[in-house]
Each structure stands twice: as structure tokens, then as C-alpha cells.
Amino acid sequence: MGSYLSGQVGVAGGAEHPHALRRLRESFPDITFHAGPAALQLVTDPSLPEGAFRITPGPLTEIRGGPFSGVIFGIEALIAQAGTHPGRLALPEVPVEEAPGLTYRTFWTWDHSTNWELSQIGQQEIGVFNPYGKPPSGFLADYRRCVDFCSRNRIAAIVIYGFLRDSHGGIAAAQDLCRYATERGVRILPGIAIGSYGGVYWEGQSRYNLATWLRENPQAAASLERGVGFQIADLAFPLSFPRSDYTLSACPSAPETMAWMEEAVAWLTETFDIGGLNIEAGDYGVCGCDRCVARRNNEAEARRRAQEHGDYWSHTDMADNFPRLYRTAKAIKPDLWIYSEIQWDNLLDPVAHDAQRRLPRGGIYQHTTNRTYWGRIRQGLTRSYVQSLPTQPNVLRCQFASQWNGDERTERYALNARVFGEMAQVCDRTGMEGLTIWGEASPYHATVELSYLAFARFGWNPRLEWETFLRDTAGPLLGGAEAAAEFVALAEELDAHQGLPLARLAALRARAAGHRAADEAGRRWLSLEDQIARRIHMGR
């Protein structure tokens, strides 16, 4: 038997790592952790990669972690192997050292459709120009739960579009969330767009809200070349974009627009303990004024605009304006993660490389893929191609496996675990340094929970094998490895067929019902049984 800690346990570094100490106390309530002579030492080590950790057992057991999250992840690893006895913390017999396989592991969310606190009204499941329909407290209730999940499962960051709204607490609530997340080793990345998507203050009476600013500066409004909106080929139904303050845009060629955006980004970076930004050029239309047309008059832009998505965004706008916002934020907080959205389905089509060569190295360049285009990436992306890209480093963003691709059911509640694992493996094999997925749906739904856990496990260790994931992660949650394999088989059959004969659905429900139990494994099976029962109720 290895050594263990019990009784009175001194912790050095607890004041600097309050959440690590909190997690120890929650997990081992019969142990008194205090600041006396130390048996545990918590140390941040800037020489380690972010999120990496090293546990060295001994008379003074040390948990040494890389910046921002390493100590938290190390504590979670210690807790996971330490047993369930409330008064005995078993120590590893040999040193443990781990580091993330993919550096950038990120959830992408909109505030209005992030539903992690299920006991409140106002849930939405799709949309980009939506009002916030929950009680004001709902923003923090949802995102604290999301942060807790990320912290415990080594998911590094959460992008939030709609980060600032008067209707869910404005500045105070956003500051509260940032403090909560930073303490738990999770970066909060407000999502913004250059001259659109509400500015940095999505909705409310703020100088940094776009509608408010345009009322005072109407000369800076954009002249969109066509109506607001876009359509995704991999989504079975049309999207609606009703005109409102949410759909306003500012002209990116107007000097006052970018001066205002730089001021706003500086305010955002100074006011909130953010871990980064997610910046895009907007994706629902481009300004067609004379200045913008002249500025975008180049061969690469013309080729890109001839493609399917040519009217939705401009890479020239990105190249002209992203570096200014990048430099503004980095000058205030050099360690920020600053994503630049390179938009959809163009990673393998280098029509924008001339513009992208002007983007700064060190920005995190996010290439979004819908389901059909993912088939091209999976077959055609190579390490040499990624190394040749003018943007460095690069990450994938999965637009599918969510409400934004699929048939009328959408893929939001599907079992997406297998594809997330495969995407992480492709990223690792080709030199993409991260993966972003939608993280809005609650893991109460077992299909969603397993999908998120696959993203977390394969993102941390892309060399993981699917059968190992089923045995070590899914199995303990569902009643064993065989039960997990059956759960996956049932869920994947449901997902593959928009309609099934009622007799087949009844047989699937009976198999799920066979796992009913008054425990958490039973609850997970019940969530799958409920999916099947709703299909039966609807007649297919």
C-alpha cells in the first residue's frame, strides 16, 4: 500500500491557489487542510507549458503546474487517483507528469443559448441575434456550471458571445464570472467582431455598444452590399435574420470606427480579468461603400468573393484591422489568448493567403469547418500544409456537431464523442494546435456529457484510443465498458436516422430501460431513454 495523508494536513501555496485548496476540502471533508507545516506544496512554474503539471510524492508532496491552470489540473489529477475515502488522501507511488497534447481546447458559446442551469425559464437553442430571455441571474448560473466542468476536465477556455448585456448583470456579472473562472484555471474569451455584433458590449447603454455609438456617429455606419444574413449548406432549414439593433454594422474603412474599436478593446481588457478575446470580422455581410470597395480591390479578395461565401466576410478587412486590436490587447495583457476567426470552409482553399500574411504571428487562427468540409480536411490536410500557412498557430473550430448543422433535429444533443476524438487526432497529426467545439448544451444529457468528455480527453491526449475512452471514461459513468459500448450503439443508431419504425424505436427503448437504476448511471441511461420516448411520441 502506498502512502497517504490524513488528519491535519498543512498546505503551502494554498493562499495563491484558493480553488485547489477548496477542491481538496470538498473531496476529503474529514481531513483538515491548513496553513501549518506543509505536507503538500502548490507551486506555479512558468517554465512548464500552460496546463501542464508534475506531482512529486514524498514527505513534502509537490504539485507543480504551468501558468494559469497547471496547479488546478494537477490537483484534479491527484483527487482522481486518491480514492474516495473522505479522510484518507492516497498519494501516487511514483511521480506523475502530464502536459496537454493540444494547447488550445475551447468551448464556443452564445449567452442566450447556453443552458447549463436547467431549472430556469428562458432557454433557447439557436440564433445569433437573440434577446436574452432568462432571469438576470441566469447568466452566472449557466456559466459557473460550465466553468466548473471545464476546470475539472482540463478544458482551457470558454468563448462567450453576448458577454456583456445589461439584462444579465452588465459589468458586475461579467467581472464576477471572470474572477470565478480565473480562480479555477479557465480562460474567459469575450467574442467580438470588428464593427459588428454589438461591439464589445453586446446589448445595453454603454459607449462601447455599437447601436449606442452609431446613434452618435451615424456617418460611420456600414452600407452593406446586400441584406443581413447567411445560410449554411449543411443545415437543412433556412435561418432568419430579422432587422434590429443587433444587425447594425459600422464601416471598417471609417477612421473613427477602428479608433473606437481600439478604445473599446482596451477598456474590455483593463476592466475584466479576461483570458483572451475571440475576434472576427463579422459574417453576415460586408460594407460596400466606395472606401471599402477600393481598399479591398485586390486579386485574392476578388477570387475569394467569387466563392460560395464571398458576400459574408472580407479577409482584407481582417488583415487591415485585426492586428490593431491584437496589439492593443497584448500591450495591456501579454499572456492573452487572442483568436482570429478565419471563417468557414476555406482552410484548404488558399485564396486569402496574401491578406493573411499581414496577420501577426502569435494570434490564434481559427479555421471553422462544417460537416461536408470536414470530410475534405480529414482526407486532405497534412502537416506540411499546416506548416506552410501564413497564419501561425492554427486551430480548428467544429461548426457541426451542434445546432448549426444537420436536419431539423440538429446535432446539438447527438452523441458527437467519436468525431470529437477524431478531430483532435487529426489536429495532432497535422500540427493544428487546438480544437474549438460548441459548449452550450447541458451535460445533464448523457450524449452531450460523453461528447464533451471525449473532447476533453482526446484534446488532452490525442493519442488516446477509442476503446480506452469507452473503458476508462464512459464505462464508470454508465455501468461498465460493455454498458458504455451498448449506449454508444443505441445513440449512434438514433442519430443516424431521422425516422425509424416504431417497432425499432420500442426495441431500442426497452434496451435503454434495462439499465434503469437509482444512481447516476441510471440517470444517464434515463436521458437516452427519454430521447427515444420522444421519438416514439412523435411517431418516428
Residue ranges of domains in the chain: 4-98, 104-464, 474-538
Determine contact, residues 341/316, Cβ cutoff 8 Å.
no
Q: How confident is the model at residue 195 (pLDDT cuts 50, 70, 90)?
A: confident
CA distances for 354 relative to 96, 135, 320, 350, angstroms: 45, 47, 12, 9
Q: Average the pLDDT over 272-286 and give the result.
A: 87
**CB of 372 closer than 8 Å to CB of 399:** no
Does the pLDDT of residue 229 top 70, yes or no?
no
Least confident of 47-61, 80-94, 303-317, 461-475: 303-317
Q: Nearest-5° angle of CA 112, CA 116, CA 120?
A: 75
Alpha helices, DSSP H, located in 82-227: 138-153, 170-183, 210-216
Say how many C-beta atoms besides its own lie within 10 A of residue 463's C-beta: 11
Give pLDDT tens digits for 245-266.
888 999 999 999 999 999 999 9
Q: Which residues contact 75 (CB under 8 A, 6 or more apart)?
A: 17, 20, 23, 24, 42, 63
The C-alpha cell that represents 59 in the structure block: 514527505
pLDDT given for residue 156 in this prediction = 98
> Cell triple for residue 151?
476546470
Residue 511: pLDDT above 70?
A: yes
Q: Is the pLDDT of residue 22 over 60?
A: yes
Q: What is the pLDDT of residue 1?
A: 47
Residue with the bigger pLDDT between 536 and 319: it is 536
Contact 158, 439 (CB under 8 A): yes
Peptide bond preceding 29: is omega within 30 degrees of 0, i.e. cis?
no
Torsion angles phi and psi, residue 249, rounded to 5: -135, 150
Mean pLDDT score, 160-170: 97
pLDDT at 309 over 60: no
Could you write out the DSSP letters of every residue in 277-336?
EEEE--SS--B-SHHHHHHT-SHHHHHHHTSTTTTT--HHHHHHHHHHHHHHHHHH-TT-
Flag whether pLDDT at 512 surpasses 70: yes
List the one residue out of 208, 156, 18, 124 whose CA is nearest residue 435. Answer: 156
C-alpha cell at 20: 485547489
| 4-98 to CATH, choices 3.30.379.10, 1.10.3720.10, 3.40.630.30, 3.40.50.300 | 3.30.379.10
Buried b (16+ CB within 10 A) or exposed e, 437-450: bbbbbbbebbbbbb
The stretch 147-155 carries a mean pLDDT of: 98
The separation between CA 80 and the C-alpha centre of its own chain, rounded to angstroms, equals 23
Q: Are 437 and 109 in contact (CB under 8 A)?
A: no
The CA-to-CA distance between both ends of the chain, in Å, stands at 55
The amino acid at 172: A
Distance CA 413, CA 125 (A): 11
Q: Across all residues in the chain, what is the average pLDDT?
A: 93
Q: How many helices (H) and strands (E) does the chain have?
A: 19, 16
pLDDT band at residue 311 under the 50/70/90 scheme: low
| CA–CA separation, 56 and 45 (whole Å) | 14
Least confident interval from 199-203, 303-307, 383-387, 469-473 = 303-307
Q: Return the CATH number of 104-464, one of 3.20.20.80, 3.40.50.300, 3.40.50.2300, 3.30.70.270.
A: 3.20.20.80
pLDDT for position 215 = 95
Annotate 220-246 with b (16+ C-beta within 10 A) or e (fewer). bbbebeeebbeebebbeeeeebeeeeb
Between 369 and 301, where is the model more confident?
369
Q: At what angle do helices 481-496 and 446-460 cross, to 10 degrees?
A: 110
3-state secondary structure of 2: coil
Spell out the residues 6+ positions from residue 166 whose beta carbon is closer than 8 angstroms to its own. Answer: 203, 204, 205, 206
Query: Amino acid identity, residue 266?
Result: A
The pLDDT-based confidence of 300 (bands split at 50, 70, 90) is low
Q: How far apart are CA 411 and CA 440, in angstroms?
A: 12
- Give pLDDT tens digits for 384-417: 999 999 999 999 999 999 999 999 988 999 999 9
How do 157-161 and 187-193 pair as beta strands?
A: parallel
pLDDT value for 36 = 85
Please report how many Cα atoms fall inside a 13 Å half-sphere around the Cα of residue 498, on the Cβ side: 7
Round to whole Å and give the CA distance between 336 and 314. 25
Q: Which residues is 196 bridged to in the sheet?
A: 193
Which residue from 62, 316, 18, 341 is spatially nearest to 180, judged by alpha carbons? 18
**Structure-block grid coordinates of residue 387:** 506548416
The 10s digit of each residue's pLDDT in 418-460 is 999 999 999 999 999 999 999 999 999 999 999 999 999 999 9
Confidence of residue 39 (pLDDT cuts 50, 70, 90): very high
pLDDT at 232: 84
pLDDT top residue among 97 and 357: 97
SS (H, E, C) 226-244: CCCCCCCCCECCCCCCCCC
Residue-wise pLDDT tens digits, 108-137: 999 999 999 999 999 999 988 899 999 999
Cα separation, 22 vs 280, whole angstroms: 37
pLDDT band of 354, cuts 50, 70, 90 = confident
* φ, ψ for residue 298, nearest 5 deg: -145, 160
Q: Which residue has the higher pLDDT, 218 or 241?
A: 218
Beta bridge partner(s), residue 221 = 250
